[in-house]
Homo-oligomer: A and B are copies of this chain.
Amino acid sequence: MKRKLIVQKYGGSSVAHSERIKRVAQRVIATKHQGADVVVVVSALGDTTDELLQLASQVSQSPSERELDMLMATGEQVSVALLAMAIHAFGEDAVSFTGAQVGILTDGTHTKARLVKINTHRIVEELHKGRIVIVAGFQGVNLNQDITTLGRGGSDLTAVALAKSLAADVCEIFTDVEGVYTADPRLVPQARKLDAISYDEMLELASLGAQVMQARSIFVAKRFQIPIHVRSSFSAREGTMITHSVGAMEDIVVSGVSLQKDEAKVTIRDVPDKPGMAAQIFRELASHGLNVDMIVQNVSREGSTDLSFTVVKTDLVATLRVTRQVSHRIGTGEVTTDEGVAKVSIVGIGMRSHSGVAARMFEAMARERINIEMISTSEIKISCLIRKQHAERAVRTLHQAFGLGKRR
Contacts and interface: CB of A to CB of B under 8 A. Distances in A.
Interface in A110-146: 122, 145-146
A22 B19 CA distance: 37
Contacts of A18: 55, 58-59
A78 B67 CA distance: 9
Nearest to A122: B145
A18 B55 CA distance: 7
A56 B82 contact: yes
A59 B86 contact: yes
A96 interface: yes
A86 B60 contact: yes
A398 interface: no
A3 to B, nearest CB: 25
A95 interface: yes
Interface string A54-76: 01101111111011101101100
Contacts of A17: 58
B100 A85 contact: no
Given A70-B77, A73-B77, A96-B67, A82 B101 contact: no
Nearest to A100: B100
B85 A56 contact: yes
A51 to B, nearest CB: 10
A146 to B, nearest CB: 8
Contact of A96 (B70, B77, B96): B70
Interface in A99-113: 100-101
A89 B59 CA distance: 7
Total copies of the chain: 2
Interface string A328-364: 0000000000000000000000000000000000000
A95 B21 CA distance: 34
Nearest to A78: B74
Given A82-B55, A101-B145, A60 B74 contact: no
A67 B84 contact: yes
A162 to B, nearest CB: 18
Given A18-B59, A55-B18, A70-B96, A64 B85 contact: yes
Interface residues of A, number: 42
Contacts of A25: 59
Contacts of A122: 145
A73 B68 CA distance: 17
Contacts of A4: none
A246 interface: no
A146 B84 CA distance: 14
A400 to B, nearest CB: 47
A45 B96 CA distance: 24
A84 B100 contact: no
With a 10 A CB-CB cut-off, give which of A59, A61, A73, A78 has the most chain B CB atoms.
A59
A390 to B, nearest CB: 45
A58 B25 CA distance: 13
A88 B17 CA distance: 34
A254 interface: no
A80 interface: yes
A374 interface: no
A177 interface: no
Contacts of A55: 18, 78, 82
A52 interface: yes
9 contacts: A18-B58, A60-B89, A61-B89, A63-B88, A64-B84, A64-B88, A67-B96, A70-B84, A77-B77
Given A59-B85, A74-B74, A74-B81, 8 more contacts: A18-B59, A55-B78, A56-B81, A56-B82, A60-B85, A60-B89, A67-B88, A101-B147
Which 7 A-B residue pairs are closest in the complex by CB-CB distance? A18-B58, A71-B81, A74-B74, A70-B81, A60-B85, A59-B86, A60-B89
